[in-house]
Structure 1
């Protein structure tokens, strides 16, 4: 790696597995001091141990981002202290994905998904962005989803929360950009960890047939895009949603 994030500090929510873990590992490999955050302390410790074994800097902070302002503010305060008084980069990655049909979605599920996927990053950004601005600037990267713009028959609740995050990305870019805080988003397509040889094909692979990539993506592909948005190379990028989806949303899919 090139050390593009050397001397930077970063908080990555939901980073004990999958895309969040890949982002935390990529940040650390580029020189950042990373706070790995999530609910599972055992997985968090494993991610931190792996980063440190590779020569990176990381610490784990347990957090249950339930949508309450208090939970978000508490994580922001603890992360700032752990990172030596400042947070240069925030990645709002944590989310939940129950995907019942609309008629089968009860109010409790609705409220929970919006609390975790929208309210928690909203209040976390509110707690961090002003201090970023006061310290001279920073970068915030939100995680969207391809199904926010290309609908599928199930998952209306989840996709609506990701649509909200993409809208917030543009609104926050307008609000905080003039203060030196860049806000952008990455919209992953069908992304799966590498499967062991002989594993049955995942149902998500069908969705990628006929796309330019012709296959599902991996967490590393998303992480590389997030690293770019977090670094100085993207200093002129504000309010943008970067599609990392193998061409699924932007290119006509050919039946295969």
Structure 2
């Protein structure tokens, strides 16, 4: 499983990381609620584990925004030292699929995650993104347009996933940079280069273009027949 762990306690996060990686799982760890929301919404994880008490944004709010603002249906386990029924109700109403109280046994967390993921693996809406004739399979990481397989570098694939999840809405430059480089984007404008590479793969062989630039804002990806009616919008210039 590919799992995102949003946990403020470094010792707890380290123990979970060591256990899951030793069992053959891939784990990314984030200690901040706001950053965790961006990663959870942008990277196609099999499951997400969210601690309740997080800096900048608490776990239930992270989960609410993940579900409502980003429409992400990834299985989520909420971790908390809270044992009251009222707290569990808050977690489940925020969109949690399961609730684990601290302290907990790591094998229990693993089997709970495996059960959640096994029940959702067959859902096409989770495993495949579709915009017009463009498809991105989140299981195989294969992208196609009009049935033609597209070659994408890893960074371009991450950018494409974010744009497809948001489509037809715009995604800001800052959001896209965070997707690839996290909180430490490079000084030079590498996003422009990555977007140019993505354009060559997605739009180069086709007459109708899907990636559009919104000057001073960012980019958006739309179905080929979607009208470019916004003032100042360009398909050829760079943001």
TM-score (norm 1): 0.27
Structure with bigger gyration radius: 2
> Looking at both structures, which has the greater relative contact order when contacts are Cα pairs under 8 Å and sequence separation is at least 6?
1
TM-score (norm 2): 0.28
